[in-house]
Amino acid sequence: MRNENLPKIPTEKKRTITLIIGLIIVMFLLEQFGLINIITSPLQKVLEPAQIALYKTKQDLAGFVGTLVEIKDLRERESQLAEENNLLLAENAGLKKLESENEVLREQLGAKKVSEKLTVAQVIGQDPLISTSELLIDKGASDEISKGDLVIIKDVLIGEVTSVGSSSSVVRLLADSATKVPAQTQSGVKGILRGKFGNRIILDKVVQGQKLRKGEIVFSSGEADFPKGLVLGKISKVEKTPAALFQKAEVAPLLAPGSLDTVFIVGDEE
C-alpha cells in the first residue's frame, strides 16, 4: 500500500540523480575494460595549459615568499651588524679615552713635584650658579676628595677644591678673588699671587726695588701649605708705581680653564 506521508522527489531531481549514477556506472565499466584513456586523454590536453600555469604561479609565489623571507633575514642581520658595529665603536672610543688618560697620568707622575696620591678627574663644566672662576669636576667624597685638595696638571697649579659633593666637587681657580698663594718668580722675587675681579691674576705685595720681568714664570714658594715649585703662570705685564710701597704684575695662566679636560687632585697619603 502506498505511503502518502513519504516526501515526493521532484522529477527534475530524479533525472539528475539517475544521470549521475549512469555516469558513475559508465566510468566504472570503461575503467574495467581499459577504455578510460579515451576520455581522460583529451581532457588532460584541454586542462594541461591551466595546470602548467597554475604550477608556474605556485612556483613564482613560493619564490616571492622566499625572497621576502630572505630580505627580512638580511635586514635583521644588517641591523644586528650595525648594532655590533656601534658597540665596537663605543668600546674602541672608550679604550682610546682610557689610553689617553693613562698617558696623561704617566706624564703627570713623571712631572709632579708632590709626593701625595693623585686622583684623575674629568672637568664637567662650569655651574651656571657659580662664577666663571670656578670649575666642576666629576670626583667627590665617594672618591675620597676633601676640601682644600689642590688640582694640578703636571707641575701647573689649576686651583683648590672648595666644595665637595658625593660625586662632584667645585674647584676655585687662581683667578678667583679668594685665591692667595705665596709665590716667587724664577729670579727669586717674592710676592702673593691672588685673583682679581674680572678673572685676572695678580702678583702683589712685591717690594719696590725688586726686579719684575715680563715673561718670567711664577712659582709657588712653598709656604702656607702649598708645595714648592708649582707653576702659577707667566708675568704678562708689570705695574710699577714709584710712590707706592709695593709693585705688582699681571700674571697670565699657562693653561686656559676653558680648555681643561683631565685634571689631577692632590690628596694626602694615608
- Per-residue model confidence as pLDDT tens digits over 76-131: 777 777 656 655 654 565 566 566 666 666 666 555 455 567 899 999 887 555 55
Domain topology for 117-174+259-267 = Thrombin, subunit H (2.40.10)
Please give the Cα distance from 217 to 234 (Å, whole number).
4
Please give the Cα distance from 205 to 163 (Å, whole number).
28
Residue 178 has pLDDT above 80, yes or no: yes
Please give the Cα distance from 92 to 66 (Å, whole number).
38
Same fold, 117-174+259-267 and 180-252: yes
Residue 8 has pLDDT above 80, yes or no: no
Domain topology for 180-252 = Thrombin, subunit H (2.40.10)
- Per-residue model confidence as pLDDT tens digits over 145-174: 999 999 998 888 999 999 999 999 999 999
Name the 3-class secondary structure at 47: helix
Burial class (CB in 10 A: 0-12, 13-18, 19+), 128: exposed
Distance of CA 28 to the CA centre of its chain: 82
Q: Where are the domains of the chain?
A: 12-111, 117-174+259-267, 180-252
